[in-house]
Amino acid sequence: MPDRILILGGTREAAALAETLSKTADVTTSLAGRTREPAPLSGAVRSGGFGGIEGLARYLSENAITKVIDATHPFARTISANAVEACRRANVPLEVLTRPQWKELPGDDWTEVASIEAAVKALPAAARVLLALGRQHIEPFAARTDCHFVIRMVDPPEMPLSFTRHDLVLAKPSSDPDDEKRLMQHHRISHLVARNSGGDGAYAKIIAARDLGLPVIMISRIKA
């Protein structure tokens, strides 16, 4: 019998893993269901929350899952904590895929902060800010009515944004630093706010900020 693997996904690493593992195992990738049109994945896909630890443990038993791989984003804390407990309860081995954090390199100008709230406070008056954060994390920045924000999202917002001054860019982040530089220059960005996600996929904006000599407010990782 091939392994029946559940990948907790939503990242590029999870997609790459699904492609490799589905050649030899029965693979299902689980997505939270936030993105309207997720990119196609190898193997089976399920979407939406499980209903907490209990729901995930039940899913593992009912679907005879033999292994779980947590390949979620480093800032997705709840699902990772739920996976630990659900796997323990269902007696299913759990593997956790961790990305190394980005490190500040020569030419970088980072202010490292521990939270979104600290990032809001760290911005200087009248900054023109590229907010490279998920939509669920941008709201606290609306309090900075003195700043201009460039907000990038994959899908359009369901509700109008409550920012005094902002530009909405509907696009995925580019993996080409030159594209990210053009975006920053076009919007006359003075500061980048980003989270220390690690990995290659989202690093282009960090290179772009370095090349342009722009300060970065870097929100530290909260999961190892």
Chain contacts with ligand NAP (rule: CB under 6 A): 8-11, 30-32, 34, 49-52, 55-56, 72-73, 75-79, 82, 134
Nearest distance, CB of residue 199 and ligand NAP, angstroms: 10
**Residue closer to ligand NAP (CB basis): 67 or 73:** 73
Residues 20, 24, 25: CA angle, nearest 5 degrees: 95
And the tokens for 116? Answer: 């979104």
Smallest separation, CB 10 to ligand NAP (Å)? 3
**Nearer residue to ligand NAP within complex by CB, 82 or 190:** 82
Least distance (Å) between residue 176 CB and ligand NAP: 19
Closest by CA to 14, choosing from 134, 92, 97, is 97
Q: What is the rounded CA–CA span in Å between residue 16 and residue 11?
A: 9
Amino acid at 117: E
- Smallest distance from the beta carbon of 52 to ligand NAP, in angstroms? 4
Cβ proximity to ligand NAP: between 148 and 205 the closer is: 205
User: CA nearest 39: which of 16, 23, 71?
Assistant: 16
Nearer to ligand NAP, 72 or 196 (CB): 72
Residue closest to 18 by CA, chosen among 27, 10, 8: 27
Nearest approach, Cβ of residue 75 and ligand NAP (Å): 4
112 DSSP β-pair partners: 218
- Nearer to ligand NAP by C-beta: 60 or 148? 60
Q: How far is the CB of 126 from ligand NAP (least distance, A)?
A: 27
Residue 86 CB, nearest approach to ligand NAP (Å)? 9
Residue among 75 and 203 whose Cβ is closer to ligand NAP: 75
Q: Return the residue nearest ligand NAP (CB atom).
A: 49
Give the C-alpha distances (Å, rounded to integers) separating 163 from 47, 139, 148, 203.
31, 8, 9, 26
CB of 190 or CB of 194, closer to ligand NAP? 194
